[in-house]
Amino acid sequence: MKFDAIVIGSGQGGNPLAQKLAGLKQSVALIEERHLGGTCINTGCTPTKTFVASAQVAHYARSASRWGVNVSDVSVDLKAVVARKNKVVESSRSGQEKRDKGLESLRLFRSRASFIGPHQIKVGDETLESDRIFIDTGARPTIPRISGLDSISYLTNESILDIVDLPEHLIVLGGGYVGLEFAQMFRRFGSKVTVVHNSVQILPHEDVDIASELQKALEAEGIEFHLDAEAKKTDKRDGGVAVTYQRASGSQTVSGSHLLVATGRTPNTDSLDLDKAGVETDGKGYIKVNGRLETSAAGIWAIGDVKGGPAFTHISYNDFQVIYGNLIEGRNFSVDHRIVPYGVFTDPQLGGIGLTEKRAREKGYRLKIGTLPLTSVSRAIERGETAGLMKIVIDASTDQILGASILASEGAEIVQILTPLMLAKQPYTLLKGAIYIHPTMAEGFFNLLESVKEVS
């Protein structure tokens, strides 16, 4: 069966690409083994952010006395939280299905795909062919090789979204973005939470000052951290689970009722038989691409998490924009030097863009740095939410912004103010003369930019 295009996976890059091509009356085969919408709609952004919203309401209610409001008997009905999440997910998922079904030239195949040749795909009992194939199969939770892990019940970022009984004590294995979001939300739901992380700091990709500030905020809510702790063994204990980890000081064990494994992501490439298509992968299984997202095999592209790099929904969507722009609109887009904003939806929220100070130093830049604690931002003081830190990284030779980290309430919203300036390659000083609405969180940029100075 011949198609103008085959899209494997219906994530936030593959699905809009399939729809756009079908809208041009091209014949498109969209292959999806599971639910339409990929990780974002089904097990990522959409469900987790509904959880985050419920957890934040619980936190405000439980802490209401800080703002002079009296609230009593605060409890979380996790079954109702999950039901609300399911309703939101189903609405998003059904919207995707409706749009796909409305396109006459798009045919949906509900099965696993594998290559049987450079441009032939096996789907169930059928063979599909196309000169243009797009791989958007995403990634799944990485399950580390830890003694005893395969003999106990553990949770992942997917399965934890469906539990309806609140864990008494949740152990989170991993102090990265995913682990911390779940750690805080379940602490706010009412669980005791312990994070076991193998690095000396949480969020290893972030600067030490940013990570430390967030850790202090999370510890203030009662989350316990065991850092520089490499998990060696898990076993059942007292109806729950025990994790034994190794530190420089020796072996220690922490016990809890539930274990969440949040130790990274593994690309969904192992069942695709990519070697039959001539598509190369790296040592971790991620598909190798060039700046135009072309693989090592002609006529095959990779989109989203499956190619590695920042694993964010907006990256997947921008991958679609790059491919569509190049193939259909005749543009010359590349992903080699794009400016990437991102958010970590803890509270305070971490909004980042471009390079951290750590990464900029690795690249050899001469730097100017500006920092501002949230205790110096009027709106943060008025809201009673002063945990956090604003930080901006400047190229001292050009005064252009290399990156920023905004750890604050709505930090992911605030940091995007810098995107147009960075895209236009304008100096940060342009913002020094700007007028900021008072009182807002963004007004913190006024004093942040005044704090910029050259550093050694």
The residues that are catalytic are: 438
* Residue at 167 is within a domain: yes
What does pLDDT average to over the chain?
A: 96
Tell me the C-alpha distance between 444 and 53, whole Å.
25
pLDDT at 320: 97
* Residue at 335 is within a domain: no
- Going by their DSSP bridges, the two strands 106-109 and 453-454 should be labelled as unpaired
* Residue at 84 is within a domain: yes
pLDDT at 28: 98
* Residue at 77 is within a domain: yes
Residue 49: alpha-carbon gap to chain centroid: 11
pLDDT at 100: 87
State yes or no: pLDDT of 141 exceeds 90.
yes
pLDDT at 310: 84
8 A C-beta contact, residue 252 and residue 226? yes
* Residue at 334 is within a domain: no
Task: Please name which of 348, 325, 339 lies closest in space to residue 406, comparing C-alpha atoms.
Answer: 348
208 and 347 part of one domain = no
Tell me the C-alpha distance between 252 and 54, whole Å.
34
Query: Tens digit of pLDDT for each residue in 259-274?
Result: 999 999 999 999 999 9
State yes or no: pLDDT of 311 exceeds 90.
no
Among residues 220, 241, 263, the one where a domain terminates is 263
* Residue at 415 is within a domain: yes
Q: How many CB atoms lie within 10 A of CB 66?
A: 10
Give ∠ CA 381-387-392 in degrees, rounded to 5. Answer: 100
Tell me the C-alpha distance between 172 and 66, whole Å.
29
135 and 280 part of one domain = yes
* Residue at 336 is within a domain: no
249 and 297 part of one domain = no
8 A C-beta contact, residue 409 and residue 415? no
Query: In one letter, which amino acid is 261?
Result: V
255 and 297 part of one domain = no
100 and 131 part of one domain = yes
Q: Which residues pair with 301 in a beta bridge?
A: 134, 294
For the segment 36-40, the average pLDDT, to the nearest whole number, is 91
Tell me the C-alpha distance between 280 and 384, whole Å.
52
Tell me the C-alpha distance between 372 and 363, whole Å.
24
297 and 378 part of one domain = no
Helix (H) or strand (E) holding 344: strand 341-344
258 and 273 part of one domain = no
Cis peptide before 348 (omega within 30 of 0): yes
Reported as a pLDDT band with limits 50, 70 and 90, residue 309 is confident
Q: Which residues pair with 128 in a beta bridge?
A: 121
Residue 88: alpha-carbon gap to chain centroid: 19
DSSP string, 168-201: SEEEEE--SHHHHHHHHHHHHHT-EEEEE-SSSS
State yes or no: pLDDT of 97 exceeds 90.
no
8 A C-beta contact, residue 376 and residue 369? no
pLDDT at 372: 98
pLDDT at 255: 97
User: Locate tokens 């940060």: which residue?
Assistant: 428
Cis peptide before 439 (omega within 30 of 0): yes
Task: Please name which of 225, 422, 228, 445 lies closest in space to residue 337, comparing C-alpha atoms.
Answer: 422
Which range of residues forms the domain containing residue 231?
149-263
196 and 242 part of one domain = yes
In which region does residue 359 sit, left (phi positive, over 0), alpha (psi from -120 to 50) or beta (all else)? alpha
Total tally of structural domains belonging to the chain: 3
pLDDT at 101: 87
272 and 312 part of one domain = yes
355 and 431 part of one domain = yes
- CATH code: domain of residue 76: 3.50.50.60
271 and 136 part of one domain = yes
State yes or no: pLDDT of 199 exceeds 90.
yes
Query: Tens digit of pLDDT for each residue in 421-448?
Result: 999 999 999 999 899 999 999 999 999 9
Query: Tens digit of pLDDT for each residue in 378-407?
Result: 999 999 999 999 999 999 999 999 999 999
Tell me the C-alpha distance between 30 and 11, whole Å.
11
DSSP string, 66-93: GGT---------HHHHHHHHHHHHHHHH
Query: In one letter, which amino acid is 28?
Result: V
8 A C-beta contact, residue 435 and residue 392? no
For the segment 283-303, the average pLDDT, to the nearest whole number, is 97
Q: Which residue has the higher pLDDT, 248 or 184?
A: 184
Reported as a pLDDT band with limits 50, 70 and 90, residue 300 is very high
Residues of the chain with pLDDT > 90, as a percent, come to 96
* Residue at 362 is within a domain: yes
CA dihedral angle for residue 241, residue 157, residue 51, residue 441, rounded to 10 degrees: 110
- Going by their DSSP bridges, the two strands 265-267 and 126-129 should be labelled as unpaired
312 and 397 part of one domain = no
Among residues 211, 232, 263, the one where a domain terminates is 263
Tell me the C-alpha distance between 165 and 67, whole Å.
30
Tell me the C-alpha distance between 340 and 355, whole Å.
9
Among residues 247, 263, 279, the one where a domain terminates is 263
- CATH code: domain of residue 408: 3.30.390.30
pLDDT at 96: 87
